[in-house]
Structure 1
Amino acid sequence: MDVVDSRVERILRAAASAPSVYNTQPWQVDATGSAVTLRADAARQLRHSDPHGREMLISCGAFLFNARTAARRDSLTAVVKILPDPDDELLVAEIEFEPGPAPNMDELELSVAIARRATSRVPFDDQPLFTDVLMSILQAARDEGAELRLVQPSEPVREDVIGLMRRAEAIAAEDPAARAEEKAWTATDPGREDGIPRDLLGPAADDDRAPVRRFIASTGKAQFEERSTLAILSTAGDSARGWVAAGQALQHVLLVATTYFVHASFATTVLENPTTRHDLRRVLSLDGAPQMLMRLGYSSMPEHTPRRSVPLKVSP
């Protein structure tokens, strides 16, 4: 491979550290020189809880933002064409890596944060985020065409949000297909390169009011914080293009948060049920469609979930 191709390989390895629903890593890439085609991997789609591929494309959007960010570390600029296509629903984007200027300090900080970012499902410090963090993550979402609605501990609507989380989880717990899908991707064997290992699921909360997702296979219980920050990411559009945008915005938010030593955990069940997703939008008076609900806070550095090698097809 030439120099540019070596850089592309390195960029794609960094991109593959993106978060994905249940750590399914639902992406495929086809490289030709300095050009890359990103596709969703339908074999890794959650057919029951994500029948339209919304979370799959959000995951691919996070991969795409990582690729853009990692490219800057190598003084490359990613020229991206978003391509969700009615005739090819798995096509996400085409990326051309071109020579660019040297990265500035902000770009370098974000690129370093790629390797440091990890989901944390343990109790956080019992405090909301500092104001400078809040301003930075709000701007990160807007930079990608999304909005971030923060829900602080003092807001009465927080109880409504947590109530909808519990309601969606209760409905899913009664659904054999939902339980089977979660079981297939959680408490995975140590040797697997995908899914969430049992020791990274985190403990179950000992309080129904804790803003943390419950997993069937969680072991043990813990007292979770009461004053972490909840954030709901929304986009104006709710089509494939909007879902890819949501993934890019999500990863931009997470990388900026990582530079402040802030970690996140996610509650996706409430958004997988059409009724509770609608109700979440209503209680928060969101203008756009909610795409991700996360809990943000300070904690020790979490372990990383496993990663498979990038499924890279190199074209001549």
Structure 2
Amino acid sequence: MELLDARIERILRAGAHAPSVHNTQPWQVTVRGNRITVRADPARQLRHSDPHGREMLISCGAFLFNVRMAARRESLTPVLTVLPDREDRLLVATIELLPGLEPDIDELELAVAIARRATTRSPFDDQPLDADVLQAMQVAAHDEGALLRLVQPSEPVRAKVMSLVRRAEALAAEDATARDEEKAWTAVPSDRRDGIPQDLLGPWTFDDQAPVRRFLASAGNARFEQRSTMAVLVTAGDTPRDWVAAGQALERLLLVATTYFVRASFATTVLENPTTRHDLRQALSLDAPPQMLMRLGYGTTPPRTRRRSVDDAISTDT
């Protein structure tokens, strides 16, 4: 039992490395023997910009994928049941950890990449991604039931996408409640274990075509690359189950990207506004709803935002 407890602690620590909107880490975990229950934490939901919990469940989905890969690293087989209770919308999943075979090479590579993956909001190298790298990320999204729509620098629609991003950011900047919500989770003290500290917000840019999110508290100015790849993650539907699936697809493709030394940053404001989200879907002629917009490029390993301790997110009942 002590060994299993140690394994579960390592698994949950890996889970906590998952990306989450504004680094809110909106998950709660209960452990009973070899069974892990994951719940969304409404106290960590962005209630104004994410009133339906879409981004909260995407974040929880990314947590679930890390748990899956970390379990395989421990030679355990995770049996996942997503949204098992229709009456309990905050119950994201249950995971039963069963004895399993040793991980294969792909599983081990993804598990190792968990600790190396980090979001960056700084400029990338000004060069496009290699075709084989892009294909690997698209396959990763597909393996989790999602689609990755690439937006290359040469595509005329890219300017329209950036115009919608800037429009959404401008509308949010005019909304006092949205500003207060962003301030609560950004430019936080460096010793805080959630949120984004000032030095990791990234610099401001006056270039409307620079594919980077502008935070209200961003400081300084930088010249951003023009030839990085933008990508939109798309799911078949737009239900809570699709949002959890989007989170798992997102983390799989980010871990695959990490193995190729590719970094990512996100522009979520355009998807938090129903109008600009709809317009983005129309501009890209998407047959299904967009769940995440990101920029992808080669760059140096960035510092990582801090994470809550396992004890802070877990309640153990033996």
Aligned length: 316
SS at the partner of 2:114? helix
**Counterpart residue number, 2:205:** 205
**Counterpart residue number, 1:313:** 315
SS at the partner of 1:296? strand
Aligned equivalents of 1:257, 1:284: Cα separation in 2: 23
C-alpha contact 1:61 1:247 (8 A) present in aligned 2: yes
C-alpha contact 1:84 1:241 (8 A) present in aligned 2: no
**Counterpart residue number, 2:41:** 41
* Pairing 1:98–2:98 present: yes
Shift of 1:85: 3.8
Shift of 1:71: 0.8
Shift of 1:290: 0.4
Aligned equivalents of 1:190, 1:200: Cα separation in 2: 10
In percent, how many aligned pairs have the same letter?
Answer: 70
**Counterpart residue number, 1:244:** 244
Aligned equivalents of 2:190, 2:5: Cα separation in 1: 32
- Quick one: which amino acid aligns to residue 106 of structure 2? D
**Counterpart residue number, 2:75:** 75
Q: Which runs of 4+ in 1 moved over 3 A?
A: none
Gaps of 5+ in 1: none
Aligned equivalents of 1:275, 1:176: Cα separation in 2: 19
Deviations 1:231-276 (A, max 9, x none): 0001011011000000000000100000000000000000000000
- 5 Å matches for 1:16-27? 16-27=16-27
Q: Which moved more, 1:93-102 or 1:3-12?
A: 3-12
Shift of 1:125: 0.4
* Pairing 1:132–2:132 present: yes
**Counterpart residue number, 1:167:** 167
- Quick one: which amino acid aligns to residue 113 of structure 2? A
Residue 292 and residue 84 in structure 1: after superposition, are their counterparts in 2 closer, same or farther (change >3 A)? Answer: farther
* Pairing 1:12–2:12 present: yes
SS at the partner of 1:263? strand
**Counterpart residue number, 1:88:** 88
Aligned equivalents of 1:282, 1:242: Cα separation in 2: 20
SS at the partner of 2:115? helix
Deviations 1:44-78 (A, max 9, x none): 00010000000000000000000001111111111
**Counterpart residue number, 2:281:** 281
Deviations 1:286-306 (A, max 9, x none): 111100000000110000001
Aligned equivalents of 2:49, 2:292: Cα separation in 1: 14
Deviations 1:176-201 (A, max 9, x none): 00000001100001111100000000
Shift of 1:206: 3.0
- 5 Å matches for 1:120-199? 120-199=120-199
TM-score (normalised: structure 2): 0.98
- Quick one: which amino acid aligns to residue 306 of structure 2? P
Aligned equivalents of 1:260, 1:235: Cα separation in 2: 24
Residue 107 and residue 281 in structure 1: after superposition, are their counterparts in 2 closer, same or farther (change >3 A)? Answer: same
Aligned equivalents of 1:298, 1:34: Cα separation in 2: 39
Gaps of 5+ in 2: none
TM-score (normalised: structure 1): 0.99
SS at the partner of 1:87? coil
C-alpha contact 1:84 1:240 (8 A) present in aligned 2: no
Aligned equivalents of 2:209, 2:198: Cα separation in 1: 23
Aligned equivalents of 2:32, 2:297: Cα separation in 1: 41
- Quick one: which amino acid aligns to residue 194 of structure 1? D
Aligned equivalents of 2:307, 2:245: Cα separation in 1: 23
User: Aligned Cα RMSD in Å?
Assistant: 0.8
